[in-house]
Amino acid sequence: MQRSAASAPSALRRNLVRGLLSLLAILAAFGGFLYAKSEHIVLGAEAYVYGYPLVIMDVTRERSNQNLGPENELHRVRQFPDSRFKNVVRPNVDTLYTTAFIDMAQGPWVFDMAPNSARYELMPFMDAWTNVFASPGTRTSGTAGGTFLLAGPGWNGAIPAGMQLLRSPTRMVWLIGRTQTNGASDFPVVHRLQDGLKLSRLDSAPTPLAEPTKPVRNHSANDLAPLASMKAMGTQAFFDRLSALMVDNPPAAADGPMVMKLARIGLVPGQTPQWGWLDRMGVGVGRWIADFKLSQELNKLSDAKRGWSTPPSILGQYGTHYNIRAGVAIIGLGANLPADATYPITRGDANGQSLNGKHRYKLHFKPGSLPPVNAFWSLTAYGDDDYLIDNPLQRFALGDRDPLVYNPDGSLDLWIQSSEPTGQPLSNWLPVKPDQTFSLNARLYWPKSSAVEATWRMPAVERLD
């Protein structure tokens, strides 16, 4: 009995030693893996950030084809989205969209804009990497309309008289046009203006109008939104897709150094990466690191005191700022040039605390400090999933086109809370959900220079309880 009792601690020590040695072996093996595959990890992270916008554009194109209609046709959205709409994150309820994914290999194309002096309109064309390469509309073209020849990178034909050339650097193009809409009662006016937009091949008649009463399609839980599809996509599938897409949507000349780095891990346009399981694991670790770092950056507040994050001045024309381009693709795919619209965002109040529907908030604009715009402005609330928040009023935004009640001195108070504000005008209430975090997104259409240059800033969101 004594020998048995004495041997028990020894056995325990031996087991502990064996366990510790096993753990050290695992750590050593993992450390060896990190060292051996460090290039795949580092460049996998860079490749993921670099290629994310191109892949999500293609995923969005596929979803658009399934739910709005075929490529190379204008799809005129005839009503505002609601909380069930999951096509893109942070949809607006200020404008009605006229959109099209356009295949430049089947072009060139003619885009006609009828004269429009009734409403502000904006028709940005984005290449496959989410850069805005042309932005006809009220700001750039005035109210007289125009006819534009949309050509791909390889087209060298003659430009017909009376047309302005818009040159796309990629085969995939996304038009995501917006026409100012002053509430649901304004739909008939805006529908007429949308019908004045036409897309046709250079050698053919304009395509027929989309069904005038076509609603925004809402989607089932099994119909993944682009962001969810990106998260669900396997690492090998992501990079296979990126490699294939880079053939017809070539990297810009300025991307040359990045393209050379990606080739070092076998990521070459048009060639499926030939990775063993260790290589694939290394690239997967890189992707995880990139996702983590992007999430960290997106959750930072650029101004801790006021809580508002002002989008960068390179929005829509990113150059080699790949981190910013990927971040915008995640939280605001389809963003305009700052000259056309700017989008201050906040997830926190004046004290840096997260916005949550369990509290009541006020946004106070002092006299003369309303958002400075040439067109119009709005404030939209989004849930923690970055989609519109369902509420009994089906009110998702407030803005200068709404019947807001101003204070006697000309200042303006907007009330952001889950329940109707007591003793305050209902027209100034922006509903949110109780006990749910949310964010606020201001939109300034055709902003004045003070907004673009950030000499004017959004006021802090005041927490009331």
Q: Are residues 100 and 127 in the same domain?
A: yes
User: Considering its fold, how many domains does the chain have in total?
Assistant: 4
Cβ(113)–Cβ(136) below 8 Å: yes
Q: Are residues 376 and 240 in the same domain?
A: no
Q: Are residues 110 and 237 in the same domain?
A: no
Domain end (from 141, 170, 201):
201
Q: Taking the model in full, what pTM does it have?
A: 0.83
Q: Are residues 318 and 353 in the same domain?
A: yes
Domain end (from 170, 201, 232):
201
Which contacts (CB < 8 Å, 24+ apart) does range 25-31 have?
A: none
**pLDDT of res. 198:** 97
Establish whether the linkage from the previous residue to 108 is cis, with ω within 30° of 0: yes
Q: Are residues 451 and 344 in the same domain?
A: yes
Q: Are residues 426 and 374 in the same domain?
A: yes
**218 is a domain residue:** no
Residue 134's domain comprises 69-201
Rounded to an integer, what distance in angstroms lies between the CA atom of residue 325 and that of residue 9?
A: 60
**pLDDT of res. 313:** 86
**pLDDT of res. 22:** 59
**pLDDT of res. 91:** 87
Q: Are residues 86 and 177 in the same domain?
A: yes
**pLDDT of res. 219:** 40
**pLDDT of res. 215:** 36
Q: Are residues 433 and 451 in the same domain?
A: yes
**With the C-alpha atoms ordered 62, 66, 67, 70, is the resulting torsion angle positive or negative?**
positive
**425 is a domain residue:** yes
CATH number where 433 lies:
2.60.120.600
**pLDDT of res. 311:** 78
**206 is a domain residue:** no
Ranges of residues in the chain whose predicted pLDDT is under 70: 1-37, 204-223, 299-306
**63 is a domain residue:** no
Q: Are residues 263 and 313 in the same domain?
A: no
